A and B are shown apart, each in its own frame.
Chain A
Amino acid sequence: MPVPGESVPPPSVPLSFLAAAGLGLSLFGLAVWFAADRIVTSPAHPGALAAVHVGMLAFLTTAVLGAAHQFTPVVARRPLRSVTVARVTFVGMVATAWLLPSGFAHGPESLVAAGGVTGAVTVLLAAWNLSGPLSVRGRGVPLAGLRLSVTYLVATVAFGVVYAFDRQAAWFPLLPHRVLAHAHVGLLGWLGLTYVAVAEKLWPMFLLAHRPRAREGAWAVGLVGAGVPLLAAGLLFAAPAVAWPGGLAVGAGLVCHLVSLVQVVRHRRRPLELLHGFLFASAAFLVVAVAFGAAAALLPVDTPTRTRLVTAEVAALAAWLGLAVIGHAHKIVPFIAYKALRARGVTTGRSGRPLLFADLLHRPTARLTLAVAAAGYLLAVAGAAAASRDVLAVGGATVAAAGVLVTANLAIGPRRAVRAGGAATSS
């Protein structure tokens, strides 16, 4: 029987993931900058693959895993199976995020295989650990979605390991549609579904929105969850009859997700704030991604144009998820830091009032982060769509700057609160 007050892991667990993800965002931006030429001319080139995997592993998966280690026990009201395993997962994630892209970028090839194996072990540990709280019955759409999304994380890594060894063993040719199957399970099944599910808990809470019905969220999770395996199988086996229903289901689910956002905003009982700037910008990229995906599937274009459209779709999906992660980090990190500061006896903010989450970040910097991150992703998507190396490179550098801003802001805020709390105590 879980003891109230003990279901959440120590703050150092999620904060270590989130701090590493901040660094990962900057490294991702720099990797895009360096590999811009490869990304626009040959998206399957090892240099391009390295950049993409820095974004997927060092930034997005690290951040989402860290948040999941905090969020899942809170919602399920049951702790992780092991805090030690959570810490091992963090180390494994950092190792994977370094090994795999390094192997892609400059070899040796065995580094890719080593990264794949490390990633597989890490993800299996995370899945086992999260299965404790995820095995709680009920608890609504967020936990139902997380159960599926963690399953898709394991599937994504299974794809990755097979592909990593295939590079040496040459069991089958790594054709673009097979790589896309792997990418879409990861982007939509793991990261996308996690966000779609968790948003159903976080959005109403942050906006004090009590919707009369909240069916859109359940439909979103159900449709994305059901559509991803079909889409991935269709892409994997180049079977349009399977891929199409899957793609349509995922598309419909993402539309439900956007309708859910609109409903939450309509029924809000708080003014809109910085988080919602991130959410709206993120949602705009989702619309762009769906449009590029549909264009790539429907338009009678030549192969280079279709490749460009798909690259832009993947970039827009990364922008959707990236802006959502950065925005929510501005809520999650202050909350976790708040608990840690309270435990250290810091109870007042700079104004002398009780310590608030708002005391733990610098709002003008957060607004600047939104502007810089949105601009960076916009340039990256535009660069990918137009096959412009220079635009993509500038986009990457701008995203890297956003990573520095968000990491510095969220790291410095709690330290300032400690100083202010100490000053208030001494006075």
Chain B
Amino acid sequence: MIDPSTADPQAESRREAALAALGDVWDPELGLDVVSLGLVYDVRAEDDRVEIDMTLTTPGCPVSEQLPSEAESAVRAALPGVEVTVNVVWDPPWTPERLSPLALERLGFRRR
């Protein structure tokens, strides 16, 4: 879940910049970005720090080490001078219900 509420306009701006950067990080197997896939659970911006909670489609996924690293690099590049932390979380586990409508369409996926 991405919490949009924040009292600090700079923090909100950084949160949005981080999300935009994550939109350019693609899962190389599925060919979609990690935001559309519903892999980004939360983005928190506070002071000079941005913290991201993200998951993967399954533990032991082949890109389990690559994708969080790419996400961190992308956000660092978008927010120079800001401390960026990416936490890989498994609770709650990812399910296909988290896919965005765009991702559903691209994958030819059937909502259950």
Show the binding face of A for B, using Cβ within 8 Å: 4-5, 7-8, 74-75, 77, 139, 142, 201, 204-206, 208, 210, 269-271, 332, 335, 338-339, 342, 353-358
Query: A269, B110: Cβ atoms under 8 Å?
Result: yes
Q: Which of B3-11, B13-21, B43-51, B57-65 contacts A (4 or more CB under 8 A)?
A: B57-65
Query: A201, B29: Cβ atoms under 8 Å?
Result: no
Shortest distance between the CB of A29 and any CB in chain B (Å)? 29
Is B101 close to A, CB under 8 A?
Answer: no
Contact A355:B28 (CB < 8 A) given known A269-B96, A269-B107: yes
Does more than half of chain B's interface fall in helix, strand or loop, or is it mixed? loop
Query: B24, A354: Cβ atoms under 8 Å?
Result: yes
Contact A356:B31 (CB < 8 A) given known A74-B60, A201-B60, A205-B58: yes
Selected contact of B107 from candidates A142, A271, A356, CB within 8 Å? A271
Selected contact of A356 from candidates B28, B57, B95, B108, CB within 8 Å? B28
Shortest distance between the CB of A241 and any CB in chain B (Å)? 41
- Taking CB atoms, residues of chain A closer than 8 Å to B65 are 4-5, 7-8, 74
Query: B108, A270: Cβ atoms under 8 Å?
Result: yes
Query: B60, A271: Cβ atoms under 8 Å?
Result: no
Query: A208, B57: Cβ atoms under 8 Å?
Result: yes
For B28-57 the 0/1 string (1 means CB < 8 A from A) is: 111100000000000000000000000001
The answer for the CA separation of A195 and B58 in the assembled complex, in Å, is: 19
Show the binding face of B for A, using Cβ within 8 Å: 24-26, 28-31, 57-58, 60-66, 69-70, 95-96, 99, 107-110, 112
Selected contact of B28 from candidates A8, A74, A205, A354, CB within 8 Å? A354
- Taking CB atoms, residues of chain A closer than 8 Å to B99 are 269
**Central interface residue in A208, A355, A356, by most chain B CB within 10 Å:** A208
Query: A342, B66: Cβ atoms under 8 Å?
Result: yes
The answer for the CA separation of A204 and B29 in the assembled complex, in Å, is: 14
- Taking CB atoms, residues of chain B closer than 8 Å to A335 are 28-29, 62-63
The answer for the CA separation of A335 and B58 in the assembled complex, in Å, is: 16
The answer for the CA separation of A8 and B26 in the assembled complex, in Å, is: 21
Query: A75, B60: Cβ atoms under 8 Å?
Result: yes
Shortest distance between the CB of A15 and any CB in chain B (Å)? 14
Q: Which residue of A lies closest to B88 (CB)?
A: A4
Q: Which residue of B lies closest to A272 (CB)?
A: B108
Q: Which residue of A lies closest to B69 (CB)?
A: A5
Query: B57, A205: Cβ atoms under 8 Å?
Result: yes
The answer for the CA separation of A356 and B28 in the assembled complex, in Å, is: 4
Contact A270:B95 (CB < 8 A) given known A205-B58, A342-B66, A356-B31: no
The answer for the CA separation of A134 and B109 in the assembled complex, in Å, is: 35
